[in-house]
Amino acid sequence: MRRGLSPRDLGDLFDRPLAAIVSMAKADGSVFSRPVWHLWESGRFVFQLPDGDRKIAMLERDPRVTLLLAENETPYRAIEVRGRVRLTREDYHRRGREICQRYVDAYDPETPIDAYLSQAPGCVVVVDADVVHAWDYADDGLMPT
């Protein structure tokens, strides 16, 4: 296992239509995790939440999150980011389309991208990292080739 990689060492992992798992704290302290479509921009995860999504209120109350992105085949590249979010409703529809584009193209090309966005502006969520862990299994002799 190669540990201590930088995000740029992960190649095209961020360009693939893989959902990242975002985890955040509920009011009672338990952990709430859900998959999100995302972009990786300037070393940050960016995702969108439609208007009315309960995760918006959760993140307004406590901006701490962990995101995990991993692939299901060799070399099993992965990244974990722990940090705090910034929420904005500014430019929601344009940014939301950018975020959703590759997922809709890959999995639902017959549906307009706007069908995945709320009519009223939701939130664009930017994760500012405090901790980043990236790894893969490219050099692991026990992995099948």
What pLDDT tens digit does each residue of the chain (145 aa) get?
Answer: 999 999 999 999 999 999 999 999 999 999 999 999 999 999 999 999 999 999 999 999 999 999 999 999 999 999 999 999 999 999 999 999 999 999 999 999 999 999 999 999 999 999 999 999 999 998 876 655 5
Residue 142 resides in a domain: no
Could you tell me the pTM of the whole model?
0.91
Q: Does residue 79 lie within any of the structural domains?
A: yes
Q: Kindly give, in sequence order, each residue whose CB lies less than 8 Å from that of residue 104, ignoring residues fewer than 6 positions away.
A: 111, 113, 116
Per DSSP bridges, beta strands 64-70 and 78-88 are antiparallel
Task: Quickly count: other Cβ atoms within 10 Å of residue 140's Cβ.
Answer: 13
Is residue 34 in some structural domain? yes
Judge whether 70 lies within some domain.
yes
Residue 32, H or E segment: strand 31-36
Report the domain count for the chain.
Answer: 1
Asked if 65 contacts 22 with a C-beta cutoff of 8 angstroms, the reply is yes
Task: Determine the structural domain holding residue 86 and report its residue range.
Answer: 7-135
Q: How many CB atoms lie within 10 A of CB 42?
A: 7
CATH number of the domain that 129 lies in? Answer: 2.30.110.10
